[in-house]
Amino acid sequence: MIAMAYSLSTLAVAVWAFAKLVRVARHHQFVSARARAIAPDKMPSVSVCIPARNEEHAMARCLDSVIASDYPKLEIIVVDDHSVDNTSTLVKSYANEGVRFIKSKDLPEGWVGRNYAYESLREQASGKYILFLSVDTHIGEEAISKLVAYMMHKQVEMVSVLPSRLDGYRLSVLFAPLRHLQEILCSSRANPPTVSGGWLVNRELLEQHFTDLSDLKADILIERHIARRFAAVGGGGYDFIVNAHACDISFEKHWSSQVETSIRIYAMSTAGHLLSFLGIVLLLLLVALLPVMIALLCVLGCYAPAIVSIFAELAFMAMFTYYSQLVWLKGVWLAWICWPIVSVQEVAILIVSAVKRARGTVTWKGRPVFSK
């Protein structure tokens, strides 16, 4: 009875996850036909704001992609958050290309470093819209034009984009943590999915809703909080874009950096929420141990629950393959092979995040998340 209950519960979770992913993906598809051309006199100005800390390895490609944009009303601002490499020198070398460099002030007490960088960028931005862009995110020549046109057509004031991966056969893609997938599966109407790598927002409405970002200074997922406000009634509207292939937005990030980000988000988003933490642990263990349970059930001769568990594992694999098809440009056929390893990896990441949270050693790019 216990074995069958476990198998049926796992199958139910797998079917729910697959159905939820398909529903969200279909609802938030970027349709190129909706991204109609905007008359030049109606194009709003856009400030591309890039926070940076020790980004020498990725900054040049990011800036090159932004500079190549066909959007005419553009300003590009980079804030350097006390980098110890050559990030500042590299950004300054783009001054003739119209890139404005800002040296960040000392991090005030209680601020998350990235949030303070956002606030510094917001203060300097003059465009009607702000595109907050991670240095790991790369945009195509028409990406900003498509996003702005899409926002105007949909009549929303904020969008974030689930970026695609062009480097599909790298280990950093095949074994990437499940942060973005979980963001989608845990979303709801009141808690819409968001992505920090690239989000475009109406600057005037942002300042109208929040004045500045000091109320969100310690929010590890600041873009989610802002999206909630815009998604609320009278908030101005928010949309999440899934198939970034169509709007040509992608990102490349080392596996270690992705793991560090996932550890930080797990540690801070579950801080003080024991039930949430235990729920995530239970769910991930349920998924990760499924192949082991199938083998054990077969050894014990419990073939009925074993068959149900096999269907559950196939449903999880199909779900992950569908998700991979949304974000990988190539290598999707490998998703079936990667899923068991990725699910176990996620459990390990969660355990490490709990340990780091308990010890107070959660970091962002080598610096404690909160200033002392």
Residue 196 Cα distances to 25, 230, 304, angstroms? 18, 16, 44
Assigned token pair, 303: 């073939």
- Average pLDDT, integer, range 25-49: 78
Tally Cβ neighbours within 10 Å of residue 135: 24
Distance CA 105, CA 15 (A): 49
- In the prediction, which pLDDT does 279 show? 66
Give, rounded to a whole angstrom, the gap between the first and last alpha carbons of the chain.
53
Each residue's pLDDT tens digit, 239-298: 999 877 788 899 888 898 899 889 888 877 765 555 556 666 677 777 777 888 888 888
167 near 173, Cβ under 8 Å?
A: yes
- In the prediction, which pLDDT does 21 show? 93
- Average pLDDT, integer, range 341-360: 86
What structural domains does the chain harbor?
A: 2-22+259-367 (no CATH), 26-254 (3.90.550.10)
Each residue's pLDDT tens digit, 150-187: 888 888 999 999 989 888 788 899 999 998 998 898 88
Least confident among 1-15, 138-152, 323-337:
1-15
With a cut of 70, say whether residue 54 has pLDDT above it: yes
Residue 103 Cα distances to 17, 39, 53, 106, angstroms? 44, 36, 11, 10
Q: Residue 144: CB partners within 8 Å, gap ≥ 6?
A: 46, 48, 69, 70, 71, 74, 131
- The tokens 């989000």 sit on which residue? 199
pLDDT band at 122 (very low <50, low <70, confident <90, very high): very high
- In the prediction, which pLDDT does 64 show? 94
Mean pLDDT over each residue of the chain, to the nearest integer: 86
Residue 333, amino acid: W
With a cut of 70, say whether residue 353 has pLDDT above it: yes
Q: Is 169 exposed, middle or buried (0-12, 13-18, 19+ CB in 10 A)?
A: exposed
CA-derived radius of gyration, the chain:
21
With a cut of 90, say whether residue 100 has pLDDT above it: yes
Give the sign of the dihedral formed by CA 357, CA 253, CA 335, CA 317.
positive
- Average pLDDT, integer, range 137-151: 90
Residue 213, amino acid: L
Which has the higher per-residue pLDDT, 71 or 189?
Answer: 71
Each residue's pLDDT tens digit, 298-317: 888 888 888 888 999 899 99
User: Could you tell me which of 42, 266, 281, 62 has the C-alpha nearest to residue 145?
Assistant: 42
User: Could you tell me which of 130, 118, 78 has the C-alpha nearest to residue 101?
Assistant: 78
178 near 342, Cβ under 8 Å?
A: yes
With a cut of 80, say whether residue 141 has pLDDT above it: yes
- In the prediction, which pLDDT does 177 show? 93
Helix or strand run (H / E) with residue 160:
strand 158-161
Assigned token pair, 274: 């024991």
Q: Residue 312: CB partners within 8 Å, gap ≥ 6?
A: 7, 10, 11, 13, 14, 290
pTM: 0.89
With a cut of 50, say whether residue 372 has pLDDT above it: no
pLDDT band at 371 (very low <50, low <70, confident <90, very high): very low
Each residue's pLDDT tens digit, 204-245: 999 988 888 988 988 888 998 999 989 886 556 899 998 777
